[in-house]
Amino acid sequence: MIRLIQRYERELVEVGQDGFTAEHLEALAIWNQRNQNRFFEIEHQRLRCKQFVGVVQVGRLVIEILPKADRDDEDLARWHNALLTMLQKVHGLRLYPADKANLSLRRTNLMDLFLDQFVKELHALVHAGLVKKYHPKRSNQAALKGRLDFPRHLRMNLVHRERFAVIHQAYDTDHVLHSVFKEALWIVEHTCTNADIVGRAQDVNWAFENVIGRAIVASTFDHIRLDRKTAPYAEALQLAELIILNYNPDLRSGREPVLSILFDMEILWEKFIHRLLARRCPDGWRLIGQDSERFWEHRTVKPDLVFTQGGQVRLIADTKWKVPDDDEPSIADLRQMFAYNMRFVSRRSMLLYPGKSRSIPGSFVNHELGWHQTQHGCEVRFVMPFDDRGNLDELAIDQLVQSTMNVKVL
């Protein structure tokens, strides 16, 4: 039976609670150590989640780690859907809760949503017809076809002189893209806890029977380039990369494999806000993400968002996924915005925090004899782009655009 644990970021998962055992803790501790202790802090008989959100599966135990921007909000379903909304906008992943017709998936978890979407994408690709490519193929044939592979020919056919070891061009579905899908499909079949998803994964296996197994590593994806014919592979490839690179089999007897799909919430929030604002920029405005300027020697400063109008910087903004105490930004955040204003010659800057929509103005103090005479400031703004169900709140986003760029949204 599958067991599901849901926690918010920074919360604890303790041995003895919700089916979490010492064996699960040990498996996650080893996996976390292999990943430079990035995802959890391992404590005595418990682990503490960090800023990463998503899902981790250990055997038949699934741990969902959800974002949370309001200390008093305990609605897990809302933040579950909010995470799906952010992943859809930032990564283009169409991860929707299952419809009411599919009863076996109505109470699914995040991991099953990822795996289910991957299997759906593969079914669509197979139904449309898998792309064939030319590639060199080595074989031992009864006729001379292609180029004779002389060293192999001598080694293999010293006795059977009627055969030829050749290298020739083949045009079929056996290429690296399909090897990636075959590997991810195997992981789905051997880790997914939902029988319906596993069954549909097995139904599509036949399409990859003639695809050889290749070693799939991180650099494999760096060398893949989609063209006009393989453009429909984009989402399936993205999901396959998440599945393969985050699968950690433990070869020791009795150990459960770990499959994780986690995202840094700081980066996810920054990219999410960027996507929301970029597509709503009015005419004449431009939004640049992660623009950089030299600051000291070879070091640079790089604000999250730079708004320009007519080639002039109008606003610098930084996104922060945290809830400041008493709505007061930290001195480190303010110093950072002060430096941005100086280096980018901006009179306005903004710190964007998650929370109930409100704005707190603030100005940096200038001395009459100071080297910087222009009055400039940093506004603290809170935004909650999700409604009560975790879907996009268009009104809140339009209000943010209006306040950010001082324009009226029609």
Q: What is the pLDDT of residues 196-210, one digit of tens each?
A: 999 999 999 999 998
Which of the 8 DSSP states describes residue 193? -
Assess if residue 323 is contained within a domain.
Answer: yes
pLDDT per position as a tens digit, 370-405: 555 567 888 899 999 999 888 999 999 888 888 887
Residue 358: closest CA among 332, 342, 379? 379
Q: For position 99, what pLDDT does the model report?
A: 42
For residue 77, pLDDT beyond 90: no
Under 8 Å CB-to-CB from 33, ≥6 apart: which residues?
none
Give the residue with greater pLDDT, 193 vs 255: 193
For residue 283, pLDDT beyond 70: yes
Assess if residue 410 is contained within a domain.
Answer: no
Residues 106 and 226 in one domain: yes
Assess if residue 273 is contained within a domain.
Answer: no
Assess if residue 44 is contained within a domain.
Answer: yes
Q: For position 102, what pLDDT does the model report?
A: 44
Boundary (domain end) residue, out of 265, 292, 322: 265
Q: Which of 73-77, 112-116, 268-272, 325-329 has the lowest mean pLDDT?
A: 73-77
For residue 295, pLDDT beyond 90: no
For residue 84, pLDDT beyond 80: yes
Tokens representing 212?
Answer: 């050889």
Parent domain of 326: 280-405
Q: Using the structure block, give the residue that is written with the tokens 């899902």.
A: 55
Alpha helices in 246-353 (DSSP H): 265-278, 331-344
Residues 149 and 27 in one domain: no
For residue 21, pLDDT beyond 80: yes
Boundary (domain end) residue, out of 265, 299, 323: 265
Assess if residue 270 is contained within a domain.
Answer: no
Question: By three-state DSSP, how is residue 209 classified?
Answer: coil
Residues 302 and 395 in one domain: yes
Residues 355 and 394 in one domain: yes
Residues 198 and 150 in one domain: no
Residues 78 and 116 in one domain: yes
Residues 220 and 302 in one domain: no
Q: For position 106, what pLDDT does the model report?
A: 41
Assess if residue 48 is contained within a domain.
Answer: yes
Residue 178: closest CA among 218, 129, 136? 129
pLDDT per position as a tens digit, 86-136: 998 888 777 655 443 343 444 568 899 899 999 999 999 999 999 998 877
Task: Please tell me the total count of domains within the chain.
Answer: 3
Query: What's the pTM?
Result: 0.82
Q: What percent of the chain has pLDDT over 70?
A: 87
CA angle 328, 331, 332 (to 5 degrees): 125
Q: Using the structure block, give the residue that is written with the tokens 């200390």.
A: 71
pLDDT per position as a tens digit, 215-254: 999 999 999 999 999 999 999 999 999 999 999 886 554 5
Residues 168 and 247 in one domain: no
Q: What percent of the chain has pLDDT over 90?
A: 46
For residue 345, pLDDT beyond 50: yes
Alpha helices in 142-285 (DSSP H): 150-156, 176-191, 195-203, 218-222, 234-245, 265-278
Question: By three-state DSSP, how is residue 89 classified?
Answer: helix
**291: domain CATH number?**
3.40.1350
Cα 56–chain centre separation: 14
Q: For position 168, what pLDDT does the model report?
A: 66
Residue 183 buriedness (CB in 10 A; 0-12 / 13-18 / 19+): buried
Distance (Å, whole) CA 300 – CA 306:
15
Give the residue with greater pLDDT, 200 vs 366: 200
Question: By three-state DSSP, how is residue 128 classified?
Answer: helix
Boundary (domain end) residue, out of 115, 146, 172: 172
Question: What integer best gives the mean pLDDT of the chain?
Answer: 84
Residues 313 and 364 in one domain: yes
Distance (Å, whole) CA 395 – CA 43:
43
Residues 188 and 300 in one domain: no
Assess if residue 271 is contained within a domain.
Answer: no
Residues 115 and 198 in one domain: yes
Residues 114 and 252 in one domain: yes
Distance (Å, whole) CA 396 – CA 354:
12
Assess if residue 42 is contained within a domain.
Answer: yes
